[in-house]
Structure 1
Amino acid sequence: MDAPAVSVSVVVPYYRQQSQLTMVLAALERQDFPRDRLEVIVADDGSPEPPRVECALPVTVVRQEDRGFRAAAVRNLGAAAATGDVLCFLDADTVPEPGYVRALARLPSLVPDALTVGRRRHADLTALGRLPAPGDPLLDEPGWLVDAYRGSRDLLDADDRSYRHVISAVMCCRRTFFDEIGGFDESFTAYGGEDWELAHRAWLAGAVLAHVPAAVAWHDGPDWAGRPDDRRRDAKNGEAMSLAPLITDPAARRHGVRYAVPDVTAVVHSEGHTAASLLVTVGSVLRHGDVTVWVDGAEASSFVDTWGIDDPRVRIGLPDAAETTRSRFAVEVSGRAVFGEKAFALLAEVGAGESVLCTLPDGAAVTHETWRARRRARRWASALGVDEDAALAMLFGTHSVDGDAVDVTTGPLRPDLSW
């Protein structure tokens, strides 16, 4: 299928890399993508001197003041100045082959929530003065990325951990999708991490991830892991500590501390409860770890007040969109459901955790779904000509189970809380 005639903006973050930028601009001039639909935005992160941008393509230069390393902010600045339908992010030290833009932009031009990543190879371009030719010495590609792409069929089999395989140096998406998810998180002010965070948030918003091996760009120098830097471990630890509050991947949160952003956002309705039965239901949810519970309903506040708790994991009302942006799972509980030790794991296993409805005696019910599925269904409902729930069923499937199958029971209206 041919891609539609979209326009593409190549956003190049830059800081004091004039000779490398010159190679990048020359390579962009040689792209086999139509020139009348291609522009370049050079986003300068406060270089002492502005970049020189002699180029046959339309080039816009935007600049921000030098307040340290602010790659996330400068990419957003570049994106804000772009006019193209598709944004291609390309680092100023990464030189594309002639077919790069066409290959990388093809899927986002067809699928509005696609996020693609090219193949970044490595060579000493400064020494060569050009792209490598057959027989030239090359530097190693990071083996962990090569293995990840091979093992996932170029991210066709992406999962909750595949955000780690998207690198912003060679990344592409629709402008509308970039704006919808909020762009890069500008709280990142040190090397690394902002691409993983954006890719994780995009995945939770329903993005289709794809590695495009035909979209090759050459990085001038070795990969980070191949650089002789004794401070590399400290830098990677700093990156991990910046990411853990924002990425709910359990692997990032294995140190026993709690973060404001939960992995699971749960809503428990207070109707049909006494204060005691509500405490049992909410407590059974909280036992499942990285969870925040919103208690909703006319009596929610008065019931919770009787518990005498000081627990930031329990809130009154309903979560707003900002409070669920980075969570993986959503749980909604009506009635006196009580979750056993294995309940959340079993619910997540049913239908790969997309959308599960568990109906219980006495009118109790539990819905467990991924935010990824819900958001993608929301985005595609109108295009499919159906409502959101029908879109969810069409795109991901829905599953109905009995409580016994997922370790969920119904508790009494007046449980015995004494000891």
Structure 2
Amino acid sequence: MSVTPLDPAGGGDVRRVRGNDYRVLQPPDLFTPELRVSVIIPAYGAQEKLDLVLQGLARQTYPAELTEIIVVDNGSSPPLRLPEGTAARLIVCDRPGRANARNAGLAEAKGDVIHWLDSDVVLTPGAVEAHMRWHHAAPYLSVTGYIRFTSAPLPAELPEDLEAAFEPAEPHTWLVGLVERTNGLIGHTARPFSLHVGGATSVGRRLVEAAGPMDDDLILGQDTEMGYRLAQAGAVFIPEPRARAYHLGPTMRMREQQRIDRVSHAFVADRIPAYQWLRTHPARQWKVPYVTAVVDGTAGYEAVRASVDALLAATVADLSVVVVGPWDTLDRDRRAPLKDPNLDLVLVHGHYEHEARVRLAATEEVDPSTPFVLRLPAGWAPGEDSLARLLALARNEALGLVEVLLRESPEGVVSARLERVSAFARARLVARPDESLDDVVDEVSGVRWVDAETYDFSDEPGELVGRRSAYKARVRAETEAARLAKEAERLREQVAKWRDEAARWRKSTVELRREVGTLRRELHAAQRDQRARRGMRAILAGRMKRALGRRTRN
């Protein structure tokens, strides 16, 4: 069986994956290879390892004419060289750092699929083909192979039997653990992008272009950060156990995990909002906010202020607000400001010009790395905890859109929309030109309507008392819920104890019944024996009486 690859530029119907449940794709083992793959290898020194990596690539079962190999020398001394007869290109990147080297290779790559490969990772012969069978099924995938870490001495030439040369080897325990905990990443997991590791991952070119190159400002954690941006662009993450590879020696993370985490966490927290466990400060701002609200700034000063001020007082502090309007057309030097036809715009601009969490923009400029966008009609104000509750609903049920029904009339429906950016990106990748994007979001993620009253939205906003009151109310509710959960657990334990006690009583009752039955049987037997003895005595007494009578007559 073969499958025709989908147009990487988005032509034709693209099979749709809900969440990260990639099982719907079901790529065949046999397919017609048509997509070109660019293997990008950043390298610094270790010529002997690079030689083995290139030998492993020369043995791949995926067609050589569809495989482009780019080695990026990242400032090695002496410079790296390509072994004679190697079907690869060597380029030089003078800027230090693996992210810069990968970006240099990416700029040269011509493939439909980008395959990251480290210069100390030897692929088994079928690894690239195992990756590419997935990419022929859909153009929005990130596929990661399974790496094993070997400490075996390096051979001068790569042997035919890699297992004999490199085993025993240690598995990538973190990757294997992630896959097992999430049922192969098809279960509900908030961070499937963590699978994106630069050592042996392939990504559709269209996704890479949407996400952008690697972040060369990061010291460490570039692979995970790019994986996050790929997820925001709509990626599906797939572990492929048949794409096997051997890492020649341990990694730096295996040797220095705590020190690496210390450095990495200091930077990735700003860039990966999904890592909420790194964002423990209750009020500070981050480079990429968790949610951005968009408000029409032309709807009147009072209406805009009611909405924006309510958002800024919300319990969700990890938030930015974009107020959209023609700000560059304003003339604040007029001598008669009260007669200015744009007075309301001037007031909105002046009121929020110096608020750090508010951005005055001409268009809906939202950072694509922001996980959620709230589109709020001006004049409507959420309660202090409304946004937190909507976000919890979207997270817990993996929804792509939560729509709040604000008002319904013959003229139409007014609603606020909480959109998951990654779900809408996925929907745009697979939607046909005539389809409603919301309908596609419902198919690939899920849509839920809720009412304004339940989630405390109002067009008559009350006094803002600050996020602490709602926060305290939520803490009290969570504390009470915890208390009730603890009490429920105590009652469950008591019920279990009573059940055990009842079982013991039932057992004792059965045993007692058996003992009573035995005693009754013995009593009946004794009573039968007693009646028999009484009968025998009566017989004997009669005999004696008759014998005495005969003796008296004689």
TM-score (norm: length of structure 1): 0.87
CA 1:335–1:144 in 2, change beyond 3 Å: closer, same or farther?
same
Separation of aligned partners in 2, 1:63 and 1:238: 27
State the shift of 1:62 in Å: 0.9
Taking the aligned partners of 2:162 and 2:186, their CA distance within structure 1 comes to 29
Q: Deviations over 1:236-289 (max 9, x none)?
A: 2221122122111212322453223211111022455552x5333223323222
Letter matched to residue 357 of structure 1: E
SS in 1 for 2:244: strand
Match of 1:372 among 416, 422, 426: 422
Q: Which position in structure 1 is the counterpart of 2:116?
A: 89
Q: Which deviates further from its counterpart, 306-315 or 205-214?
A: 306-315
Q: Residues 303-318 of structure 1: matches in 2 within 5 Å?
A: 303-305=347-349, 307=351, 310-317=354-361
1:319 to partner: Cα distance: 5.5
Q: Is the 8 A contact 1:271 1:334 kept in 2?
A: no
Cα deviation, 1:334-391, whole Å, max 9, x if unaligned, reads 1432222442243231552311211214875210110011112222224x64243443
* 1:159/1:366 CA distance change after superposition, 3 Å: same
Gaps of 5+ in 1: none
Change (3 A) 1:319 1:261: farther
The within-5 A match list for 1:4-153 is 4-54=33-83, 56=85, 58-65=87-94, 67-68=95-96, 70-127=97-154, 130=158, 132-134=162-164, 137-153=167-183
* Partner residue, 1:328: 371
Q: Give SS of 1:26's match.
A: helix
Residues 138/316 of structure 1: CA separation in 2 closer, same or farther (3 Å cut): same
Amino acid at match of 1:346: R
Aligned residues: 407
Say whether 1:388 aligns with 2:449.
no
Q: Kindly indicate whether the alpha-carbon contact (under 8 Å) linking 2:211 and 2:233 is maintained by their aligned counterparts in 1.
A: yes
Counterpart of 1:290 in structure 2 is 318
Structure 1 residue identity aligned to 2:440:
A
| 8 A contact 1:8–1:84 mirrored in 2 | yes
Q: Per-residue CA shift, 1:107-127, capped at 9, x if unaligned?
A: 223211111111111002444
- Asked if structure 2 preserves the Cα contact closer than 8 Å seen for 1:246 and 1:261, the reply is yes
1:347 to 1:51, Cα distance in 2 relative to 1, 3 A: same
Instruction: Look up the equivalent residue of 1:95 and give its one-letter code.
Output: V
CA 1:88/1:284 → structure 2, altered by over 3 Å: closer, same or farther? Answer: same
Q: SS state of the match for residue 390, structure 2?
A: helix
Secondary structure of the residue that 1:186 maps to in structure 2? Answer: coil
Assess, with a 3 A threshold, how the Cα gap between structure 1 residues 404 and 4 changes in structure 2: closer, same or farther. Answer: farther
CA distance in 1, matches of 2:447, 2:375: 15
Query: Match for residue 523 of structure 2?
Result: none
8 Å CA contact 2:399, 2:446 repeated in 1: no
- Unaligned residue ranges in structure 2 (runs of 5+): 1-27, 327-341, 467-554
Residue identity matched to 1:36: E
Question: Aligned with 1:140: secondary structure?
Answer: strand
Matched, 1:167 2:187: no
Asked if 2 retains the 8 angstrom alpha-carbon contact of 1:141 and 1:223, the reply is no
1:213 to 218, 234, 241: 241
Distance 1:124 1:301, change over 3 A: farther
Structure 2 residue 270 is the aligned partner of structure 1 residue 245: yes
* Separation of aligned partners in 1, 2:227 and 2:116: 13
Q: Which one of 174, 195, 198 corresponds to residue 223 of structure 2?
A: 195
How many Å separate the matches in 2 of 1:364 and 1:194? 41
The letter of the residue matching 2:278 is A
CA contact under 8 A between 1:154 and 1:211: conserved in structure 2?
Answer: yes
RMSD of the TM alignment (CA)? 2.8
**CA distance in 1 between partners of 2:110 and 2:84 (Å):** 18
Whether the aligned pair in 2 keeps the contact of 1:13 and 1:91 (CA below 8 Å) is yes
Q: Which residue of the partner structure matches residue 400 of structure 1?
A: 449
Distance in 1, Cα, partners of 2:417 & 2:133 = 37
Correspondence for 1:279: 305
Counterpart in the other structure of 1:259: 286
Q: 1:163–1:200: 8 Å Cα contact kept in structure 2? A: yes
- The answer to whether the Cα contact below 8 Å between 2:114 and 2:205 also exists between their aligned partners in 1 is yes
Q: Who is 1:410 aligned against? A: 458
- For the 8 Å contact 1:335–1:365, the answer to whether it is kept is no
More divergent stretch after superposition (368-377 vs 288-297): 288-297
Give the secondary-structure state (helix, strand or coil) at the position aligned to 1:352.
coil
| Partner Cα separation in structure 1 for residue 281 and residue 363 of structure 2 | 26
Alpha-carbon distance in structure 2 between the residues aligned to 1:390 and 1:193: 35
CA distance in 2 between counterparts of 1:416 and 1:9 reads 59
User: 1:78: how far off?
Assistant: 1.0
CA distance in 2, matches of 1:311, 1:99: 56
* Percentage of identical aligned residues: 26
Q: Does 1:343 align with 2:386?
A: yes
- Give deviations 1:40-71, integer Å, cap 9, x for gaps: 11011111233221265521111011x43x11
Kept in 1: contact 2:207–2:233 (CA 8 A): no
Q: Using structure 2 for the length normalisation, give the TM-score.
A: 0.67
Greater radius of gyration (CA): 2
- The structure with the greater share of residues assigned to strand is 1
- Equivalent residue, structure 2, for 1:234: 259
In structure 2, how many angstroms separate the alpha carbons of the residues matched to 1:247 and 1:95?
30
Whether the aligned pair in 2 keeps the contact of 1:156 and 1:209 (CA below 8 Å) is no
> Which of 341, 346, 367 is residue 302 of structure 1 equivalent to?
346
| Other-structure match for 2:250 | 222
- The letter for the 2-side match of 1:234 is R
Letter in 1 for 2:450: V
Question: Could you list the per-position Cα deviations for residues 172-221 of structure 1 after superposition, in whole angstroms to 9, with x for gaps in the alignment?
Answer: 01223212221212223x3x311011100000111011111111111111
Please tell me whether the aligned partners of residues 125 and 132 of structure 1 are also in contact (alpha carbons under 8 angstroms).
no
Which amino acid in the other structure matches residue 61 of structure 2? D
* 3-state secondary structure, aligned to 2:198: coil
Q: Which moved more, 1:294-303 or 1:159-168?
A: 294-303
Q: Residue type of the partner of 1:238?
A: V
